Amino acid sequence: MSVENGIGASVVRKEDQRFITGNGNYLDDINKAGQCYGYFLRSPHAFAKINSIDLTAAKAAPGVVDIFTGADMAADAVGGLICGWGISNKDGTPHAAPPHPCLATDSVKHVGDQVAFVVAESLQAAKDAAELIEVDYEELQSVTDVRKAASGAQIHPEAPGNQCYDWELGDKEAVDAAFANAAHITKMDLINNRLAPNPMEPRAALGEYDRGTGEYTLYTTSQNPHVARLILSAFVNIAPENKLRVIAPDVGGGFGSKIFVYAEETTTIWASKRVGRPIKWTADRSEAFLTDAHGRDHATHAEMAFDADGNILGFRVSTLANMGAYLSTFASAVPTYLYATLLNGQYKMPCIYAEVQAMFTNTTPVDAYRGAGRPEATYVVERMMERAARDMNMDPTELRMKNFIAPDAYPYETPVIMTYDSGDYPQTMNLAKDMIDYAGFQARKAESASRGKLRGIGSAAYIEACGIAPSAAVGSLGAGVGLWESAEVRFNPTGSVTVFTGSHSHGQGHETTFAQLVADKLGVPYESIEVVHGDTTKVPFGMGTYGSRSLAVGGSAIVKAADKIVDKAKKIAAHLMEASADDIEHNQGVYSIAGTDKQMTIGELAFAAYVPHNYPEDLEPGLAENAFYDPLNFTFPAGTHIAEVEIDPATGIVEVVDWAAADDFGNVINPMIVEGQVHGGVAQGIGQALLEGVVYDDDSGQLLTGSYMDYCMPRADNLPNFKVEATNTPCPSNPLGVKGCGEAGAIAAPAALMNAITDALGKEIDMPATPEKVWRAAQSA
């Protein structure tokens, strides 16, 4: 059945040829004739009124083309940035939606907030001129800690008490009743630490206005160029959609942070018309720390009720979520419908009640970051399960087994909206235990103890909802967009194929995977297939890549288009071979009349479609098909990760000595790419648990982790050799049976690692488990 380099083959990535030879086309590689350079003056204060901005000296500086402030944008009727997902409070009222101007007007609300945009002949000239801008700030007392936000100074008049919303999900009364009958209750307070996304390529934008046609072209580091175009056109009022082209070229990583529409590209494209020249803006790493949307930052209290046998009776969760100073593009959805809907985990939970208060603080806005809500949910559920097992003197994996949804119980409806469509949780749990030799742990622990070391083991049985998402479902939950995907499969007359996808590749390897898919479906050689993405004038309107959706949604759209190609090719073949289309069989690019040896190849049929000298009268020439695919359901990748650590109590250093990842991603197109995604996700999760954390000065609101000197990223020596294996219960909700793998590692890893560390220490600590924190815990009796 399988085609060479088709589905299931670990094909080496096509795009690596240009990436590893330095021939990628990243945004900063692009230059235009007459280009000038933009630089943002940013607030050095966390919260301050702007009394005045004096540009006199700066405008007179050498090389300055122009300088813009918020007043200029307002005068041009350029709107602010929007949040595209409406969340309702408990009483049904909408969430607070304060304005988010691209350039500050009367106040700055976090360190790094944009104050002015300097355009000059060189970046250095722009930076020098920015130094001459005199801003009279009146400093105000800031608040950065989400737990103190309610009592902090009011940041937005539209958000009393700094509250964005107070939201709930689930059946409070049922949960209260369950707790009243509980034999055992486990309670925990958990902090999910704030992370900076740190894509390898910083954000950048190049804006160009064509005075001849009135068209704008924006090159931007985006994961979803059409969404950016839609927002910039419909909400920000840059230009009508037909006069705005958005191109996201090679993008060096996003992890969610490049989904959103930011002030910088908005200002850059607007200003390009004002100055009549192309303008390029490229963030430096400091700006990335200050302004790339951060991730996580939850403070949660959770309680879980069990009967005397260890069966879950009910679960209640109360979370404070830090939104930062402004609402980023999808920020409101992350701690609500992407979080609380996964609090059921892999378990039979009779009832759940979650309440989430989202708060404004004087910090960088927080939005989706690899996993977006599901890592936070998994962290709460799985730290609780491990804690409860310890409280009840049970093996944590046994407590999980006891509560798992049975493999034959699908479709399984949870108390928090989701309907799980497939899975086999005991299977992945058992696989992970075998991989790490769970049974042999006590012997290893004793051996570590003989060397004065503390060994620990911890699991996380994660589930996530991705392949987002059915448009009707997300629409009913407040989303301002549909989440389908588009594709076009276009044969060229000579038989090669160009695939246009609305998905966007920024490290995932779509040019390889999608080509494998099409090779498999159409029988065209893999080398003859080109994948095009990231340009709104080339590809049909698409929703882009995030939420592990490219293959499940974007790949399914490609399959639909390929199916249409096959149908049309059968009609052409039927005409040319003088048969009925119903009698034409397709097998790997060969179209034959059933039961005969008469056949034609897809290459011959494509040529006939473009040189239609002998062609069916009722058929259009050409061989190209469009498709849009709206998923039937989310997909639910799930599995168990088990971490094993050894801690040196003398130094507090945690060594991750072993890692077993057993994942169920459904069907897999390219196992090598999938394993790479797991490696990357787990590394990021280990980073969160062990090393990373954004820190603001509690009093001044200054960002203290603004460089790699203070923000510690995982490196090879922090990581073990991962053991990665997969099980497969195909997803019934899409034609490929795939589930998505891009976020799983980052979702599973923090809980697994913290469970292992706290197992070793015999004490609870919060992430990140820095040597100091671990040392103090190890030293305290």
Per CB under 8 A, residues contacting other proteins are 44-45, 111, 127, 130-131, 284-286, 289-290, 697, 699-700, 702-707, 709-710
> Residues 6 or more apart from 288 whose CB is under 8 A from it?
196, 198, 199, 202, 203
CB neighbours of 1 closer than 8 A, spacing ≥ 6?
none
Closest Cα to residue 477, out of 601, 626, 336?
Answer: 336
Classified as helix, coil or strand, 427 is: helix
User: 122 or 494, CB closer to other proteins?
Assistant: 122
Closer residue to other proteins, CB minimum distance, 10 or 286: 286
Q: Which residue's CB is nearer to other proteins, number 283 or number 431? A: 283
Minimum CB separation from other proteins for residue 275, in Å? 22
Q: Smaller CB distance to other proteins: residue 130 or 388?
A: 130
| CB of 471 vs other proteins, minimal distance in Å | 41
Question: How far, in Å, are 169, 222, 346, 599 from residue 97 at the CA level?
Answer: 21, 24, 35, 62
Could you give the CA distance from residue 269 to residue 218 in angstroms, rounded to a whole number? 6
Of the pair 425, 696, the CB lying nearest other proteins is at 696
Cβ distance to other proteins smaller for residue 133 or 602: 133
User: Is the CB of 133 or the CB of 191 nearer to other proteins?
Assistant: 133
Question: Can you give 95-134 as a three-state secondary structure string?
Answer: CCCCCCCCCCCCEECCCCCEEEEEEECCHHHHHHHHHCCE
Smallest separation (angstroms) from other proteins to the CB of 711: 10
Residue 407 tokens read as 């493999």
Give whichever of 58 and 399 is closer to other proteins, judged by the CB atom.
Answer: 58
Q: Is 740 helix (H, G, I), strand (E, B) or coil?
A: coil
Q: How far is the CB of 762 from other proteins (least distance, A)?
A: 31
Min separation Cβ 701 and other proteins, Å: 9
- Between the two ends of the chain, the Cα-to-Cα distance in Å is 62
CB 639 within 8 A of CB 750: no
CA angle 641, 647, 651 (to 5 degrees): 145
CB closer to other proteins out of 127 and 773: 127
Contact predicate 73/270, CB 8 Å: yes
Cβ closest to other proteins, residue 203 vs residue 521: 203
Q: CA-CA distance, 672 to 674, in Å (whole number)?
A: 5
Q: How far is the CB of 773 from other proteins (least distance, A)?
A: 17
Q: Which residues contact 430 (CB under 8 A, 6 or more apart)?
A: none
Residue that is written with structure tokens 């942070």 in the block: 257
Question: Residue 404 CB, nearest distance to other proteins (Å)?
Answer: 46
Cα-Cα-Cα-Cα dihedral of 747, 749, 751, 757, to 10°? Answer: -170
- The answer to whether the beta carbons of residues 482 and 468 sit under 8 Å apart is no
CB of 378 to other proteins, least distance (A): 31
State the minimum distance, in angstroms, from the CB of residue 363 to other proteins. 13
CB of 112 to other proteins, least distance (A): 9
667 versus 700: smaller Cβ distance to other proteins: 700
Q: Least separation, in Å, of the C-beta of 111 and other proteins?
A: 7
Amino acid at 752: A
Smallest distance from other proteins to CB 706, Å: 2
Is 60 exposed, middle or buried, given 0-12, 13-18 or 19+ CB atoms closer than 10 A? exposed
Which is nearer to other proteins, 283 or 483 (by Cβ)?
283
Q: Which is nearer to other proteins, 57 or 472 (CB)?
A: 57
Under DSSP, is residue 496 helix (H, G, I), strand (E, B) or coil?
coil
Q: How far is CA 498 from CA 4, 487, 529, 549, in A?
A: 19, 11, 6, 21
Residue 408's contacts (CB-CB under 8 Å, 6 or more residues apart) are none
Shortest Å distance, C-beta 707 to other proteins: 5
How far, CA to CA in Å, does 500 sit from each of 422, 513, 522, 536, 549? Answer: 30, 13, 15, 11, 16
Q: How many CA atoms lie less than 13 Å away from 731 in the CB half-sphere?
A: 31
- Least distance in Å: CB of 717 to other proteins? 21
Nearer to other proteins, 130 or 178 (CB): 130
Torsions phi, psi for 67 (to 5 deg): -135, 135
Long-range contacts for 605-608 (Cβ within 8 Å, ≥24 apart)? 605/569, 605/572, 605/573, 605/576, 606/491, 606/492, 606/493, 606/494, 606/495, 606/569, 607/493, 607/494, 607/495, 608/572, 608/576
